[in-house]
Structure 1
Amino acid sequence: MKVSFVIPCYRSEKTLEIVVSEIQNKMQQMTEHTYEIILVNDCSPDGTLSVIRRLCADNENIIGIDHAKNFGQHAALMAGFSFVSGDVVVCLDDDGQTPADEVDKL
């Protein structure tokens, strides 16, 4: 089974890599599943887009989407859903408030 993580991103240049790392670490333990991470930059004014571009360049299972203007969390999630190829979709926040390492309990 493939798990798709969709993460709307806004002002998350300092937290995004931590969240992605948590997902990667957890999914390495769940060897029976493959995964993808879809990061949607919602026109963040900080360095979030640069972080997303770097993560995409370093990881073939990370997809980056960039909004030209801020459309809000709902629109960012919907944009991410259009790129999903997994069997299960998990929506996470970009600030680490939702623990990514709990995905196996879903």
Structure 2
Amino acid sequence: MPDQPAENPSFISRCLGPLLPLGFAGVGVWILMSGRYVYRPGRSGGVLVLLPPDSLFAALFFISLSCVIAAFGFSGPRERWLFWGGLAGCVCALLVEGTRQLLGLAVYG
């Protein structure tokens, strides 16, 4: 069976695919720069504002999530480093922030 020629990637994967990890990384950088993370759960009008250091863990989570998503666009060792490094960052940020929330140590604004 002869080798099949490689298909050109579609417009979505070529041009719009990088926007998803860039968007998550942008949110993480925005949280780092502003120092607060605002969450509005639904239409109830309630607002949750996390202040440092809790917002920094939210920023670490979003930046790590962008690494995990970006890993799907690479191959070889770079894919492994991005995936496992991003996954470790996401898990660490969730564990630390979840523990702070459960123990009542989180800083709200």
TM > 0.5: no
TM range (shorter): under 0.3
| Structure showing the higher strand proportion among its residues | 1
**Greater Cα radius of gyration, structure 1 or 2:** 2
TM-score normalised according to structure 1 size = 0.25
User: Counting helix residues as a fraction of each chain, which structure ranks higher?
Assistant: 2
TM-score w.r.t. length of structure 2 = 0.25
